[in-house]
Amino acid sequence: LLLGMWGLASCNKDERNYEAEIEWLQFQMEGANGEVIAVQLDSLKQPSTTEPEVIALESMAELDRLQLAYELSPGATANIEPGAIVDGKQERIEFTVTAENGRNQRTYYLRLSKKEKVDFGTGGGPAKESGRELQNLHIKGVDCKVIAKGTRIFIEVPRGTDLHSLTLEFDLPKGATSDVASGTALDFSDGQEQHVSVTAENGSTRRYSIEVGYPVLQCGAEIEEFSFEGAEVSVEKVGPRIYVNVEKGKALTNLVAVIKLSKNAKLVGFDAANHDWSRERSITVVSEDGNAKSIYTVRTSQKKMQGAELESIVIEGINGTNMIVEGANYLFFTDNKQFDMKAVKANIRVSEGASVNWDGSAKNFKQEGTYVDGRYVYQLEVVSEDLASKSYYSIAIQQGNNGLDLFASRLTSLSMDVAAFAKLPAPVIVGSDIYIAVKPDMDLSQVMVSFTMSECDADKLIDAKYSEAGKKPLEFSLWLNDEDRIVEGETLFELKDGMALYLWRLDPNVTWAWSPEGTWMRRNTYTVHLVELAETYPPVLESFSFKEVSAAASIVGNRINVPVGKADVSRLTPVVRKGKGTTIEGLVPGQVADFTHPVEMTLKGSNGTTKIYTIYADQTKNYLAELWDLGFDELGELEPDVQGSTYTFFCAQSGADPHSLTPHFKISTGASSSVQAGVPGDFSRPVLIRVTSEDGAMTKVYRVVVDNRKNSEAKLLSFRFAEMKDGLPIAGDLIEFNGEGLNTKHLTPIFSVSPGASVSGLTSGVTSDFSKEVKLKIVSEDGSDEAVYTIRKEAAGGLKFTFEKWNSYSGGSAPNFMNPEGWSTSNKGMATSMSSMHVPDKYPVYQTSDAHGGSYAAAIETVKLDKDTPVGYKSIAAGALFMGKFDESKVLSDPLASTKFGEMWTWSPVKPDHFKGWYKYTPGATLWGPNAGERPGGTDVFSLYAIFYYGPTLTSGQVINGSDRIIAEARISDLSPKSEWTYFDIPFEYKKSIPAGQTLRYSIVASSSKDGGKFIGAPGSLLIVDDLEITGKE
């Protein structure tokens, strides 16, 4: 709180009181549990200058509704009535005190601000200390652990400690008192609960319930993790069965097991010295308390790869960029009329261990392929090493028209500046044909384009002469017809199959009366071909079961195992849930079939891939020992608080007697339990329910606690919307959701909270407005704890980038490269360099498993273009990752024009607010200059930033030079090395307001060398980024 005070006073002779002082003043508001929280201004002093006096006071929850209370000099009055509601968010509060004599006045100017939240006291005068916490609580002379849950405290002491007389020691806040003095010996034997009440100086009281006991013996008896020392393994655990696949080359007879068990559990009879896992082995685990036991069976085998993917294919004689790929369809284009369809050669790469029906040698497409819509198509089959998966790819080659004027300038690239095209393959220009990928039912009535072109030798000579003479250079433009010119990033037009685009040249130095702007000449004509790409999906098996049995299936690799017990395996009805676009062969879901012997089921995806499963109807005894739907008849629909295998029921409101409660629950088929459902029992103390599987291999223990006190927890347990399929993650006190495709003004929340807790702000099952941030307040059943959760939609449709999916792109005669989906990189330019000059020896941007979240991150590295002799006088190439397009034709001649930053921003009125994410950075050893042997000294630094701008796409050079079309940007300023994952959260700094009616764009840009555009950087500089995010607000 900042308080500035100055006043005017008059001192006329008057018998009435002339003082206009504030004796005390406070603001009040309603706090948790209905208490009044007071903010105190005490002993106000009039400063000798106009400088405000700074007084630090405690926080207020809400500044906009504060109730004013005060006491003034005898007889004095104020301009604000006592008890009036004031708005503390205003710039200043003017508080004028008038003396009883009416002549003297003093005006105080108050400005309020929030400080750290504390617990305030109550009172009608100056506020007193409000602290009422038990501080530094411990037991004298005992090594103990204090576990507090609201006002309930459990103190854990070593086993063997005498609980009959333990001395509690604690501290109290200033001015507070307690009904039990620190240092008092208390009896905690037999589970006795002791109480300590603490009264704050202001009179408010808090009562603590304290228990002391021994650590609960752990009842878990499970293998949580299993691996082999020094070996790469994949592990599938199905109940007591553990399937382990070991990397190729590892001898199964010499493996050292690494086993992680439940807390304090132990192995029984396990021979750790036996390293032979070539045969099935059993492992027995017993819990610490001895009540639970599990017998595991471990089956180990050499790993066979499951992948059946076509990772890359390069057709000899066809430029690698002349390709459109969608799912399993590879469409190659060539304008070479001499291309021999009878001897097509290819470089093919498939998943590790997989086989393919074409080794890349000369193949006669005219004989072995089919001719469809002007294309020769060959069916490629890829089979996984484990034979469980097959993928079919359509390899098509189409010869385009080379009707260009070879002595005229031409288009080199065309990109679509419409959001719907962002995830589609880039257009391909072959001769005078432009092939553009589209989706069915796509709206093509309003599209925009960006393009690049290359000058022919004749036009270059003209420009050179004009430059020497100081004349204007030639200008090139794209036209829809003789009247409609296409302005990059601005002109909207309808895209049609078969339409023509015209490339014109303007010579501004040769003018005519009818053409004062110069002389126009049509240079080349292009024909647009729309390539329709159907939506495709891989085969997905979501679940499998039999109608006649309740047991769930376990799916390990391509094996489906269903425990069927005593069911008739000759008459079972399969129930299959499959993904979109998936079809099934080998059996008919819902139709009775014979499963006496294993049955094969083939799933086919619309993308041409298949997955083969083998189904086993397992008549061995059930291995599951699960318990669910636990409750008590006397407690009605009361839900328990479930923590692991402990179920706690808070029954204070029910009035039920814990000494006689009737449990009901369900257990796995064939399993048995130590407590019988439907039979009343004593649950006044914790009860263990042991569930043993039908086959005896698993015994699990469930701990049941019936607490007749009120629950002290205030927690949101789950949250989702009825309009969405999946639940939403709860990150601390924040729940975010993707609002795309939803009417956020009408969403129905479905949530659960701690048993007995009350909620305000939302009602589960009642539709509410979530177009803006919503608060959900939860108060525990006993009122001792509260929590406030925020529910909001993700900014800009959820702009989160995890780098989990990467796509393969042809490098032409260079190796194929990978780019993260939705991103562009400098790899495309390096493919050109590799093809022509065989450098660098690696791509600068690549996938890495050194990830912050998920499986992958993006690695961006500065690479050498040559060891000693730079190519084209350039020494290094900095790795670049960005959202936009890359023009490889300018990578060496004009690198700052080769990168075009920007994707359409389609989420108005939301605008970018923060740029967040994680990164690591290691600079290379030596900084190189652009010229051979140049070593300028210093240390390399990276760049990582996000921009928000309007109008046509910006190039790297325009961004570096500070284009006036940039609205806002967020840049990392700390460019020092970071060996560990480092988090950043940078607000967008807005330079100007958003212009109306303009196309908005955004981009994220990352480079391993900040001055890489000038070919300055250190080879080996490595920037790794992951989990990037742009948040927004309206």
Residue 1 predicted with pLDDT over 50? no
Residue 51 predicted with pLDDT over 70? no
Q: For residue 871, what pLDDT band results from cuts at 50, 70 and 90?
A: very low
Higher per-residue pLDDT: 814 or 399: 399
- Give φ, ψ of 61 to 5 degrees: -70, -45
Provide the residue count of the chain.
1034
Q: What is the mean pLDDT of residues 303-329?
A: 82
pLDDT of residue 10: 33
pLDDT of residue 50: 42
Q: Which residue has the tokens 């979530």?
A: 770
Q: Which burial class, exposed, middle or buried, applies to 704 when counting CB atoms under 10 A from its CB (0-12, 13-18, 19+)?
A: buried
Handedness of CA 928, 929, 933, 934 (dihedral sign): negative
pLDDT of residue 442: 87
pLDDT of residue 15: 59
Q: Give the integer Cα–Cα distance in Å for 747 and 724.
A: 9
Q: Which residue has the tokens 């205003």?
A: 90
Nearest in space to 538 (alpha carbons), one of 325, 351, 348, 390: 390
Asked if 173 and 200 count as a contact pair (C-beta separation under 8 A), the reply is yes
The three-state secondary structure class of 68 is strand
Give per-residue pLDDT as tens, 614-664: 999 988 888 889 999 999 999 998 889 888 889 999 887 788 889 999 999
Strands (E) across 303-354 are located at: 310-315, 323-326, 329-334, 346-350
Radius of gyration of the chain (CA): 37
Residue 113 predicted with pLDDT over 90? no
Buried/exposed 837-858: b ≥16 CB within 10 Å, e otherwise: eebbeebbbbbbeebbeeebbb
Buried/exposed 147-184: b ≥16 CB within 10 Å, e otherwise: eeebbbbebbbeeebebeebebebebbeebebebebee
Mean pLDDT of the chain: 83
pLDDT of residue 897: 62
pLDDT of residue 883: 87
Q: What is the mean pLDDT of residues 593-597?
A: 95
Q: For residue 869, what pLDDT band results from cuts at 50, 70 and 90?
A: very low
Give CATH for domain 800-1033: 2.60.120.890
Residue 1005 predicted with pLDDT over 90? yes
- Of the candidate CATH numbers 2.60.40.2340, 3.40.50.150, 2.60.40.1180, 3.40.50.300, the domain formed by 223-302 belongs to 2.60.40.2340
Q: Give the best-scoring range by mean pLDDT among 12-16, 50-54, 780-784.
A: 780-784
Q: For residue 665, what pLDDT band results from cuts at 50, 70 and 90?
A: very high
Q: Which fold has domain 403-515?
A: Immunoglobulin-like (2.60.40)
- Of the candidate CATH numbers 2.60.40, 2.30.130, 2.40.50, 1.10.10, the domain formed by 2-111 belongs to 2.60.40
Q: Give the integer Cα–Cα distance in Å for 34 and 350.
A: 68
Give per-residue pLDDT as tens, 914-951: 999 999 999 998 898 877 667 888 899 999 999 999 88
Q: Token pair for residue 33?
A: 């549990």
Buried/exposed 411-423: b ≥16 CB within 10 Å, e otherwise: bebbbbbbeebee
Domain ranges for the chain, please list them: 2-111, 135-213, 223-302, 306-400, 403-515, 541-618, 627-707, 716-793, 800-1033
Please state which of the ranges 114-123, 165-174, 783-792, 1008-1017 shows the lowest mean pLDDT: 114-123
- Which residue type, as a one-letter code, is found at position 262? S
Q: Give the integer Cα–Cα distance in Å for 699 and 295.
A: 9
Give per-residue pLDDT as tens, 213-233: 998 888 899 999 999 998 888
DSSP string, 336-347: -TT--TTSB-EE
Give CATH for domain 627-707: 2.60.40.2340
Q: For residue 249, what pLDDT band results from cuts at 50, 70 and 90?
A: confident
Please state which of the ranges 50-59, 176-185, 707-716 shows the lowest mean pLDDT: 50-59
Q: Give the integer Cα–Cα distance in Å for 819 and 821.
A: 6
pLDDT of residue 887: 67
pLDDT of residue 213: 93
- Give φ, ψ of 767 to 5 degrees: -65, 135
Q: What is the mean pLDDT of residues 156-165?
A: 93
Residue 276 predicted with pLDDT over 70? yes
Asked if 799 and 915 count as a contact pair (C-beta separation under 8 A), the reply is no
Give per-residue pLDDT as tens, 677-722: 999 999 998 999 999 998 899 999 999 999 887 887 888 999 999 9
pLDDT of residue 361: 93
Q: For residue 889, what pLDDT band results from cuts at 50, 70 and 90?
A: low
Asked if 777 and 788 count as a contact pair (C-beta separation under 8 A), the reply is yes
Q: Which burial class, exposed, middle or buried, applies to 261 when counting CB atoms under 10 A from its CB (0-12, 13-18, 19+)?
A: buried
Q: Which residue has the tokens 């608080």?
A: 641
| Within this chain, domains 2-111 and 800-1033 share the same CATH topology | no
- Is domain 716-793 given the CATH code 2.60.40.2340 in the classification? yes
Give per-residue pLDDT as tens, 941-993: 999 999 999 887 888 777 877 788 899 999 999 999 998 999 999 999 999 98
Q: Which residue has the tokens 């900014």?
A: 795
Q: What is the mean pLDDT of residues 798-806?
A: 81
Q: What is the mean pLDDT of residues 112-118?
A: 47
Task: State percent of the chain over pLDDT 70.
Answer: 88
Q: Give the integer Cα–Cα distance in Å for 435 and 529.
A: 5
pLDDT of residue 58: 43
Whether the predicted model's global pTM rises above the 0.85 cut: no
Please state which of the ranges 157-171, 480-494, 573-587, 854-868 shows the lowest mean pLDDT: 854-868
Asked if 917 and 1004 count as a contact pair (C-beta separation under 8 A), the reply is no
pLDDT of residue 954: 83
DSSP conformation class of 408: S
Residue 286 predicted with pLDDT over 90? yes
pLDDT of residue 896: 60
- Of the candidate CATH numbers 2.70.98.60, 2.60.120.590, 1.10.3720.10, 2.60.40.2340, the domain formed by 306-400 belongs to 2.60.40.2340
pLDDT of residue 812: 66
Q: What is the mean pLDDT of residues 341-345?
A: 91
Q: What is the mean pLDDT of residues 811-837?
A: 78
Q: Token pair for residue 360?
A: 């890349």
Q: For residue 838, what pLDDT band results from cuts at 50, 70 and 90?
A: low
Q: To which H or E segment does residue 832 belong?
A: helix 827-837
Give per-residue pLDDT as tens, 754-788: 888 899 999 999 999 998 889 999 988 887 777 88
DSSP conformation class of 591: S
Q: What is the mean pLDDT of residues 68-96?
A: 78
Q: Give the integer Cα–Cα distance in Å for 725 and 709.
A: 36
Q: Which fold has domain 541-618?
A: Immunoglobulin-like (2.60.40)
Q: Give the integer Cα–Cα distance in Å for 526 and 502.
A: 6
- Is domain 135-213 given the CATH code 2.60.40.2340 in the classification? yes
Q: Beta 583-585 vs 599-604: how paired, if at all? A: antiparallel
pLDDT of residue 121: 30
Q: Token pair for residue 723?
A: 């309009």
Q: What is the mean pLDDT of residues 95-114?
A: 74
